[in-house]
Homo-oligomer: A and B are copies of this chain.
Amino acid sequence: MSDAYYLQLTEQLRTLIDQNAAQWEGKLPAERVLAEHFATTRVTLRQALSQLEGEGLIHRSNRRGWFISPARLVYDPTRDAGFNDYVRAQGRQPRTAVLKLEARVHPPAARALGLPDDQPFQHIRRRRYVDDRAVLVESLWVVPERAPELLDIYAGQSLWGLLRERWGHYLANRSIRMVSEALSPLDAEELFVAPGTAGLNINRAIFDDQRRPIEYDEEHWLHDSLCISVELSGQR
């Protein structure tokens, strides 16, 4: 092979991980150990590990080490099914932590919903887990008129379920935007990963069946933890 050494290393690591996944219990040996095992430098070794990270095979958490990434979560952003539902449907364990509840303006949300920039919102910030791994943080910006006492009531349950059951809102129209990104220092910190980690940003503007604005949603996912899947029928 005339390939770069770090690419060969990537392949060797891939098979090594494959064979020892069970015995390592998801956590790779220390970088210094691996570097010595392959008789190379930590710099080169890390280059190879970063490749595998880009593929979504492994990831790192805090400063605790490298871990083997679980299967991606299949996610359909066009459907109403709550996070908890479809995580469970895939045999995984969901969890949600509420990070912030406040009333605030947020011009990006206002613009996406066609409201004036000084429109106040009810802001819910939460972190979501799959099998105890934090996989996304999101900010929800809800139009106050649509859900008056939301901030007093809310305690981590499904927002869309709440909107439907308590206020009778049926979410009918939505506009979705997806962009790959590098996680901002804040998002990264809240997800316990290094700043600049690859992520996927999903934004949704949601209206009811009369095109009244309901909610704007900003999600920041770890890039390796989801697979977006959309099923469409009917000619367009």
Residues of B within 8 A of A77 (CB): 230
A56 and B180 form a contact (CB under 8 A) = yes
Tell me, rounded to whole Å, the shortest Cβ–Cβ distance linking A235 to chain B.
5
Copy tally for this chain in the complex stands at 2
A177 is contacted by which of B174, B185, B228, B236 (Cβ under 8 Å)? B228
Whether a CB of chain B sits under 8 angstroms from the CB of A215 is no
B54 and A196 form a contact (CB under 8 A) = yes
Q: A10's closest neighbor in chain B, by CB?
A: B196
Contact count band on A: 35 or more
Chain A 202-232, CB within 8 Å of chain B: the 1/0 string? 0000000100000000000001100111111
* Contact stretch, chosen from A59-67, A118-126, A138-146, A165-173: A165-173
Tell me, rounded to whole Å, the shortest Cβ–Cβ distance linking A46 to chain B.
11
Whether a CB of chain B sits under 8 angstroms from the CB of A178 is yes
Give CA–CA (A124, B145) in the complex, Å.
Answer: 53
Q: A195's closest neighbor in chain B, by CB?
A: B7
Q: A194's closest neighbor in chain B, by CB?
A: B4
Residues of B within 8 A of A72 (CB): 179
Residues of B within 8 A of A209 (CB): 235
A179 is contacted by which of B176, B198, B228, B231 (Cβ under 8 Å)? B228
B176 and A235 form a contact (CB under 8 A) = no
Residues of B within 8 A of A80 (CB): 236
B181 and A236 form a contact (CB under 8 A) = no
Give CA–CA (A170, B234) in the complex, Å.
Answer: 10
Q: Which of A2-37 contact B (CB under 8 A)?
A: 3, 7, 10
Chain A interface (Cβ < 8 Å from any Cβ of B)? 3, 7, 10, 50-51, 54-56, 72, 77-80, 170-182, 185, 195-196, 198, 200, 209, 223-224, 227-236
